[in-house]
Amino acid sequence: MLCGGTSPTAKDATAEIQEMCNKMKTQVEQKAGKTYETFTAKSYKSQVVAGTNFFIKVHVGGDEHIHIRVYKKLPCHGEECEVTSVQLSKSHHDPIEYF
């Protein structure tokens, strides 16, 4: 992984990534202006900064996916997470890019 760059390939979402998505769902819904019955993490990339950015592809029902960026603070700052950006109207095939 390049310093400051995202991981080169997307990885399958883990239980830890799904748990992070579950905790961030309300924030995502507020930013998106809608609610989601389905909210399943599919894959992700990460970027180490002063903390970690997670770029996560989330299945939200039917053929619809969204990409969310979650910033996780360093352990010395409490490891809190926050949703920093949401991209709507993505498909299963759309690659996860930096946003």
Q: What tens-digit pLDDT sequence spans the chain (99 residues)?
A: 445 567 778 899 999 999 999 999 999 999 999 999 999 999 999 988 889 999 999 999 999 999 999 999 988 888 899 999 999 999 989 999 888
Residue of 23, 5, 13, 12 whose CA lies nearest to 97: 5
Q: Report the Cα 36 to chain-centroid distance in Å.
A: 15
The answer to the question of residue 2 being in a domain is: no
The answer to the question of residue 63 being in a domain is: no
The answer to the question of residue 64 being in a domain is: no
Q: How many domains does the chain have?
A: 1
The answer to the question of residue 43 being in a domain is: yes
The answer to the question of residue 41 being in a domain is: yes
Range of the domain at 16: 11-55+72-90
